[in-house]
Amino acid sequence: MRRWRTVTSAAVDFLVEIEVRLPVDLDESRRAALLQDEFERGAALAGAGALRAIWRVPGRLANKAIWTAADATELDAALASLPLWRYMDVAVTPLAQHPLSESCAGLAPAGGGCRLAGA
């Protein structure tokens, strides 16, 4: 598995929208194992600064997140490293700085990363 590098200030932010579509006939123990592995890999990517913020979409196995990577190729490698990758529909939008960004109480600058409970 590719090792994720720590994100630098020259990184690009991306809005990543993920919908997971697990097979209906997937064994429950396999489903639980995949979801646990996904959580652990996501936590590792958050710790490396690649996954900066994430929100779940209520009622669906879906999320919207801010990811940071050097470029689209690096982002693709990070997303493909997720255990649920083969079951995902993914939409990616590169983001640019907005003139109001400095006035908003939003996310920390690129490289700030997620802060996991207990981390």
**Statement: the pTM of the whole predicted model exceeds 0.85:** no
What is the side-by-side order of every strand in the sheet holding 88-95? 51-56, 62-69, 12-20, 88-95
* Average pLDDT across the chain, whole number: 87
* Residue 86, token pair as written in the block: 């083969």
Q: What is the pLDDT of residue 103?
A: 74
Contact 4, 43 (CB under 8 A): no
Q: What is the pLDDT along the chain (119 residues), one digit of tens a residue?
A: 455 555 445 789 999 999 999 999 999 999 999 999 999 999 999 999 999 999 999 999 999 999 999 999 999 999 999 999 999 999 999 999 888 777 776 665 554 555 555 54
Q: What is the pLDDT of residue 109?
A: 55
3 residue type, one letter: R
**pLDDT tens digits, one per residue of 37-68:** 999 999 999 999 999 999 999 999 999 999 99
* Burial of residue 75, with CB atoms counted within 10 A of its CB: 0-12 exposed, 13-18 middle, 19 or more buried: buried
- The domains located in the chain, with CATH, are 12-96 (3.30.70.1060)
